[in-house]
Every structure is written in C-alpha cells, then in structure tokens.
Chain A
Amino acid sequence: MNKAKEILIVEDDKDMQGFYKEMLKEEGYNLTLASNGKEGIERIKKKRFDLVILDIIMEEPTGDRLFALLRKSPMYKEVPVIFVSVFKKDTYVCTKALGHVSYLEKPFTKEDLLEEIRKSIGQC
C-alpha cells in the first residue's frame, strides 16, 4: 500500500483552514496546517512534504517570500507548490518571475482543489 502523501498548508485564516480540512478529510492525504509563514518555516525544517499549499497574503514572511526560501533549500527545490489568493494569478509578479507554479484563486471548490493537488503531485 502506498504511503499517504504529506501536504503542508500554510494559511493564516482559521475559516480557510477549516475548508481545507473539510475538503480533504476523506481523500487520503496527511495534512499539516501552519497558521503563518514562521510556523510554515518551522514545519518544513522538520520534514519533507510532498506538496506545499501557500496562501500568498499573510503577515511576514508572506507566501511568496516563503516560496523563495523553499526554492533555495535543496530539499524543497523540486517540491510542488500551489499558491492560493483572492487575486488573479497575473497580479503577482513573483509567480511570473519564479517560473511555473500552480495557482488557485479563492473562492475555489473541493473539485478545483483536488484537481490542482493531483496535477501537482503528479508532477513529482
């Protein structure tokens, strides 16, 4: 039996955290939630996740700064990342500058989220 994929979700909004838990509760993933960028950094230091879902607009470090840190780490150089924001993808210069990343615009449905996760983890 395959080991369940480990997903780290960095999201500062409690309601959004609840949506993630509800949407993914029966999908066979192991979820770890971090409530801000600092907590996200602590989590990624401890183990390697298969996928990181990053809210962009948070207290420092913001999602895009955390992403830049991830890509500097040899352990996370290739780990897929999904950015999440209420803004459209084109709003973010960082997503253009840093190459291909997946992007989910809020509001999204469970189906949207699962599709992005499957596409991202499939890229590993």
Chain B
Amino acid sequence: MARNKTSGLSESLVRYLSHELKSPLAKMEMSLRLYEKAFKANGSKDAQKRMEVYDTLIGSIHRLKHNMQNALDLFSLSSCHTELKKDSVILGELVSCAIKEVRGEAERKGIKLVSSLSKDIPTVPGDSQKIYNVLINLLDNALKFTDKGRVRVSVRTLPPRVEVSVSDTGIGLDTDNERISRLFEPFTENAEEITHPGLGLFVCKSIIERHGGEIWAESKGQNKGATIRFTLPA
C-alpha cells in the first residue's frame, strides 16, 4: 500500500512538472511558428539577422525541451517505485514522429534525413513516451555531430528482438572500446576533463535497459560516422 502511494506521488509529480514545464515552452514555439513569415520576411535590411534570431530561438526551445525531458526521465527512472508503462509500441510510428520533430534542424544544416523500416515489425511492449525520447536523443546527437551527408534511422526484426539504429556520416568516434562505452556514462570521474557526453546517451541506456534491451555504439573511427543501435524484446 505504502509502495503504491509513493509510486503514485512520484508519477503525479513527474506528470505535474512535465505539464507545467512543457506548456510555456509549447506556447513559445507556437508564437514563433505563427509569426515565422513575419520573422523571415525579405525586403528589409535586418532580414538576415531576424532569420538568425528565429533559428536561434527555435533551436534553443528544442534543446531546452529535450534536456527537460531527459531530466524528467532520469527523475522518473531513478525512483525505484516507478514502473514503466506497457504500451504496445509501434516503432514505425514513433520513428516517423521523431523524424518530423527534428526535420527542421536537419534542413537547417542541409543534412538528409532518411528512414528504413523492414516489413512486419512487431509491436514491442514498453513505454512509448520514453522510447520516443530515446529516438529524439539519438537523432539529436547524430545531427549535432554531423555537418554534411545524412542521418539514417533503421528498424529491423531480429527475433525475438527488434533492432533500431541511428547512423550518421558525422565526426565518428574513437575506436577504443572503453572510450566508446564511456559515452553512455553521465559524467566522467575526472573533474578536470572539460568535455563530457552529456545526459542524453545515459538516459537512453537507462531507458533501454529498463525495457530489457541493450544499446551500444559503433564507428570505424574519427570522421567516418557513427551508429548507435539498440534492441528491444518484441
């Protein structure tokens, strides 16, 4: 009984925070989108500057939205009482929605965004919101570290699992396996090290492992692109 009450409180808090944080962000984005044409109208001397301001604002809103979702997911997953939802997740639909969400950023950078879905992909039991956040994190990372070329999302069946991969033609990864596995850690132990992989891949790992799946990174080396794959039980 106590466990259920704690679990309910935690879920309610995440839900409340999620609504209260997402709503103003949604309104900021809607305001900008509604007046996009006015922002980007040609014919005045500051047109280029306004366009840059618009892109900066939209980009910042998206980054804030993703970071907020990661923080909420971490909070939710770190609660030992939180149980994942068991939706019948249609991965093809999630991939389409995720591609739609990041398409603006891909277009802005001139990167081709493609998907490849094999036939007869079964639904997977899981929390669709959290799996969606994994896809957004992986696409976001791929676009961040790719300056030209393409980003591809693939889904295929490998019974009894389904495998999803996000590959890019970007800056690639060090081929050292230990360094690659550290990508999925939230922060390095060396406080003097300035760069760290951020929370995104750590959140992805936490979500995928809570679903009974695996996630890993592959690369043929620096400037040779990278692929992040994850599997989920079907």
Asked if A19 lies at the interface with its beta carbon under 8 angstroms from chain B, I say yes
Asked if B156 lies at the interface with its beta carbon under 8 angstroms from chain A, I say no
Check A88 against B132 for contact (C-beta < 8 Å).
yes
Check A107 against B18 for contact (C-beta < 8 Å).
no
Q: How far is the CB of B41 from chain A (nearest CB, A)?
A: 17
Give which listed residue, A23, A87, A109, contacts B19 with CB less than 8 A.
A87
Asked if A78 lies at the interface with its beta carbon under 8 angstroms from chain B, I say no
Q: Output the nearest chain B residue to A22 by Cβ-Cβ distance.
A: B34
Asked if B154 lies at the interface with its beta carbon under 8 angstroms from chain A, I say no
Check B34 against A86 for contact (C-beta < 8 Å).
no
The B interface is mostly helix, strand or loop, or mixed, namely helix
Q: Output the nearest chain B residue to A91 by Cβ-Cβ distance.
A: B129
A88 to B128 CA separation, bound complex (whole angstroms): 9
Check B22 against A86 for contact (C-beta < 8 Å).
yes
Asked if B46 lies at the interface with its beta carbon under 8 angstroms from chain A, I say no
Q: What are the residues of chain A within 8 A of B114 when measuring CB–CB? A: none
How many interface residues does B have (CB within 8 Å)? 17
Asked if A59 lies at the interface with its beta carbon under 8 angstroms from chain B, I say no
Within 8 A of A (CB), among B17-45: 18-19, 22-23, 25-27, 29-31, 33-34
Give which listed residue, A19, A90, A106, A110, contacts B128 with CB less than 8 A.
A90
Interface residues on A, range: 10 to 19
Check B23 against A19 for contact (C-beta < 8 Å).
no
Check B19 against A106 for contact (C-beta < 8 Å).
no
Check A86 against B26 for contact (C-beta < 8 Å).
yes
Q: A57-B19, A90-B128 are in contact. Are A106 and B26 (CB under 8 A)?
A: yes
Q: A88-B132, A90-B129 are in contact. Are A13 and B23 (CB under 8 A)?
A: yes
A109 to B35 CA separation, bound complex (whole angstroms): 10
Check A16 against B27 for contact (C-beta < 8 Å).
yes
Within 8 A of B (CB), among A52-87: 57, 86-87
Q: What are the residues of chain B within 8 A of A106 when measuring CB–CB? A: 22-23, 26-27, 30
Q: What are the residues of chain A within 8 A of B19 when measuring CB–CB? A: 57, 86-87
Interface string of A7-38 (1 = CB under 8 A from B): 00000010110010011000000000000000
Give which listed residue, B23, B34, B87, B132, contacts A110 with CB less than 8 A.
B34
A19 to B29 CA separation, bound complex (whole angstroms): 11
Q: How far is the CB of A54 from chain B (nearest CB, A)?
A: 16
Q: What are the residues of chain B within 8 A of A109 when measuring CB–CB? A: 30, 33-34
Q: What are the residues of chain B within 8 A of A91 when measuring CB–CB? A: 129
Q: Given contacts A86-B18, A106-B23, A109-B30, could you give 20 more A-B pairs where the C-beta distance is less than 8 Å?
A: A15-B27, A19-B30, A19-B31, A86-B19, A87-B19, A87-B22, A87-B129, A90-B85, A90-B87, A90-B128, A90-B129, A91-B129, A106-B26, A106-B27, A106-B30, A107-B26, A107-B27, A107-B30, A108-B30, A109-B34
Which B residues contact A (CB, under 8 angstroms)? 18-19, 22-23, 25-27, 29-31, 33-34, 85, 87, 128-129, 132
Q: What are 24 A-to-B residue pairs whose CB atoms are below 8 Å?
A: A13-B23, A13-B27, A15-B31, A19-B34, A22-B34, A86-B18, A86-B22, A86-B23, A87-B19, A87-B22, A88-B128, A88-B132, A90-B87, A90-B129, A106-B22, A106-B26, A106-B27, A107-B26, A107-B29, A107-B33, A108-B30, A109-B30, A110-B33, A110-B34
